[in-house]
Structure 1
């Protein structure tokens, strides 16, 4: 049975730190980079809602269903987003990775692959998870493409599943990586990040 506890993870110039109430203002600044709350298919907090957003994440952590992190870019020493383990199910050794967003200037960089690699390595290699899941809005095609680039398999769609901020109800696309697939997924993620580093150094 897995035991998911707060942990700090660091790789490729990015650090995942357990979220605290002290991170509210920094997360607000990150969300302002691209006015991310205007994107219909995400749950980025709008201006003034950041405190509630963080409090909800911490309440879920206290209940044992979520472990939220902030994403710190080390060279600039600034918070650039957030991600979480959630829907933690210790009895079947399952977690999901989600509640993920990054400041616009850090999207489509090495950051997402680096964070996902750290979380997947911790889930499979340290916690002993048998499966790691992902979910996203059926209209969030960018998120679906990013999840598929990780090597996750599409499990299916749960129709009429969750309320969006605008009052409409979304279908949820579910993905997963099982433990037997992890060695190949890990190798591919390391390869992608190495290629990205080579391009930066060229």
Structure 2
């Protein structure tokens, strides 16, 4: 796998650009859209904590490459930060990375945005970086996220019990998924089909 370098990707009115401090106000607005930080099963920052959230993401390089998700369309909302996503747990020695730390403003959830983002990230991971496998993980109680990952065509690998702390002090089980290189052509065709119908 090639080194994972900062890159900007764009598809169907959605742009992924490396997350930077200048995205703070937009990310704060995205979190306020639905008061997403109140969900106990996500890592969405409270508005006052957005700068720290970005600083933490940047400090995790090279093991994490965080992106701001931007509305690159035309009309109302164009140019707005609508969420964030990341490559993380990047392991070049075995051609593996994960996609996660993903959240979108409530008004952009269950739209073409997630499909576009995943198609861009997976295409770059498999076709440019040469990944052998791309992983995903989510909270065992985040059934919406599990369903979204499964709709991508990812396979459920298993559950890591008592794996990570939640913001409320409880400890979550983590559900692990992955897409292998050999599965990518079918997944890519499926995601393109989904976008053609959205």
Report Cα offsets for 1:125-161 as digits up to 9, x if no partner.
0000000000000000000000000000000000000
CA shift at 1:2, angstroms? 2.6
Cα distance in 1 for partners of 2:25, 2:107 equals 18
Aligned twin of 1:13: 13
Given the alignment of the two structures, is residue 141 of structure 1 paired with residue 143 of structure 2, yes or no?
Answer: yes
> Which residue of 2 is the match for residue 121 of structure 1?
123
Quote the offset at 1:26 in angstroms.
Answer: 0.9
Matches of residues 5-44 of structure 1 in structure 2 within 5 Å? 5-44=5-44
Native 8 Å contact 1:150 1:185 kept in 2: yes
Q: Which runs of 5+ in 2 are unaligned?
A: none
Q: Contact 1:93–1:129 at 8 Å: present in 2 too?
A: yes
Helix, strand or coil at the partner of 1:165: coil
Question: Which residue of 1 is the match for residue 46 of structure 2?
Answer: 46
- Aligned mate of 1:68, from 58, 66, 69: 66
Instruction: Give SS of 1:149's match.
Output: helix
The aligned residue for residue 2 of structure 1 is: 2
CA distance in 2, matches of 1:87, 1:2: 15
Structure 2 counterpart of 1:159? 161
Q: Deviations over 1:173-201 (max 9, x none)?
A: 000000000000000000010011xxxxx
**Aligned with 1:128: secondary structure?**
coil
- Aligned twin of 1:199: none
Following superposition, the deviation at residue 21 of structure 1 comes to: 1.0
Question: What is the rounded CA distance, in whole Å, between the counterparts of 2:2 and 2:94 in structure 1?
Answer: 8
Report the equivalent of 1:182.
184
Cα distance, 1:74 vs structure 2: 1.3
Q: Is the 8 A contact 1:88 1:95 kept in 2?
A: yes
**Aligned structure 1 segments of 4 or more residues deviating by more than 4 angstroms:** none
Contact 1:2 1:91 in 2 (8 A): no
Q: Matched residue of 1:185: which SS?
A: helix
**Contact 1:152–1:176 (8 Å) recurs in 2:** yes
- What corresponds to 1:200 in structure 2? none
TM-score scaled by structure 1?
A: 0.95
Matched residue of 1:48: which SS? helix
